[in-house]
Amino acid sequence: MGKYFGTDGFRGEANEGLTAEHAFKIGRFLGWYFTEKRRKFDSGRARIVIGKDTRRSGYMFEYALVGGLVASGADAYLLHVTTTPSVAYVVCAEGFDCGIMISASHNPYYDNGIKLFNGAGEKMDEEVIRLVEGYLDGEDVGFGAGAQPPYAKRENIGRSVDYVAGRNRYVGYLISLGMYSFKGIKIGLDCANGSAWTIAKAVFDALGATTVLIGGEPDGTNINQGCGSTHIEKLQALVKAQGLHVGFAYDGDADRCLCVDENGEIVDGDKIIYLCAKYLKDRGELLKNTVVTTVMSNFGLYKALERLGVSYKKTAVGDKYVYEKMTQEGYVLGGEQSGHIIFSKYASTGDGVLTSLMVMQAMLDTKKSLSALAAPMEVYPQVLKNVRVADKRRAVKDEEVQAAVEKADKRLAGKGRVLLRESGTEPVVRVMVEAEDTALCKECVEEILAVIEKKGYAVKSE
């Protein structure tokens, strides 16, 4: 992780940790960098595509980025409100130099973020991120320390282009992946008042499903508020009350998906990985017979995969790391418990709506309910608590905190695990304990949190 860009972009409270000036400067640098890169091969100007979710501050960051890009000589193509995976798709499919998504994912509306994609639709190369951060800090990254990229002049000044057509192509792409008609299937969709607001329903309606939409009335300040994948209880109640076959909940930028089965029970990312691994293995499509998970995946997933005869790899938390491992070693399925699921045959990042389609395909092809597909995986009790801290790295490295972790690990006696880690996107430390007994999990977590608070690292949320 860099100084500004974490595992999933540059994120912070709008006009506090992340300002319009930051966005303008990022646009200035990227416009210059990719225009210079283009000039080595042809005389054309750089083309950069931008999407955003439904946060009020998205307008500010969108136009600040555009101002910086065109001032440096690049053309900015605006997808407007769209999903993170749609930006990744359009960059690759339409031959853009770079993609930018304005979103803070599952965070509250007052936060926002800037995510960058390279020309292959993958999370931006670390070298470019390093250069962007260096420029933000006034370092010499190609035009002198403290200096600005040269401004484009006359006919070389860039322009902005309304590019809703790109978003529509992405919707068409998703529809094309539907192998079966969804006619007669009743589906609940919780779009978190975010990016999937129009896209998800359009896809499922086109495939013939009867859809019931909640979290589809964004007003700029209600994204993720009591809805979506972080507040899935509303979708659970909807599925049960209306007798739906399945429900899908997305986060603010729709790069993750959690499911609700016909009984109103949650099917999280681990269970999605399990059922999709089994489905692909049975069809002979699980290349190398291996899936990629993160260290946050449940023991129950690994036990279930072992029974299937499926191998697994573990990475640090973040779909960026999952995708890197998948591409390095040639795997087709990977993801996180939180619902970032990657199907590398179809996408270069987690895609909530695509995940929904893959789950539907497994259900329709096997003629089984979602509960039946997920049932073989038994979840170990897991307790996860987050604590906001002033210095997450110092808190995690503290000797007394580490001693508390070791003490908890000994209590589990090899029948569980303890995980203490820094959030990649927030000033938060996450404490997770997994064991056969929920009460023991809670005790261990509370003991570790007590030490963090005693040492003065915890801060109160406003």
CA 47, 353, 269, 227 torsion-angle sign = positive
- 306's CB contacts (< 8 A; 6+ apart) are none
Closest CA to 246 of 83, 374, 84: 374
Residues in the chain: 462
Instruction: Give the sheet arrangement for strand 160-162, strand by strand.
Output: 5-6, 9-13, 111-117, 98-102, 47-52, 75-81, 160-162
Catalytic residue list contains 105: yes
Task: Find out whether 55 and 140 touch, Cβ atoms under 8 Å.
Answer: no
Q: How far apart are CA 92 and CA 85, in angstroms?
A: 11
Q: Can you tell me the distance from the alpha carbon of 75 to that of 365, in angstroms, rounded to the nearest whole number?
A: 44
Neighbouring-strand partners of residue 254: none
CA distance 191 to 218: 9
- Tell me which residue of 301, 192, 202, 208 sits closest to 255, measured CA to CA: 192
* Bridge-based pairing state of the strands 98-102 and 111-117: antiparallel
Catalytic residue among 86, 103, 105, 297: 105
Burial (Cβ within 10 Å: 0-12, 13-18, ≥19) of residue 80? middle
| Distances, alpha carbon 408 to alpha carbons 184, 298, 412, 443, 450, in Å | 50, 18, 6, 9, 13
Beta bridge mates, 115: 101
* Among 245, 194, 243, residue whose Cα is nearest residue 371: 245
CB 253 within 8 A of CB 271: no
Q: How far apart are CA 434 and CA 298, in angstroms?
A: 8
Q: Tell me if residue 285 falls in helix, strand or coil.
A: coil
Residue among 242, 240, 302, 243 nearest 266 (CA): 240
Which phi and psi (to 5°) does residue 53 adopt?
Answer: -95, -160
- What is the side-by-side strand order in the sheet with 428-435? 382-388, 428-435, 416-422
**Residues identified as active-site:** 105
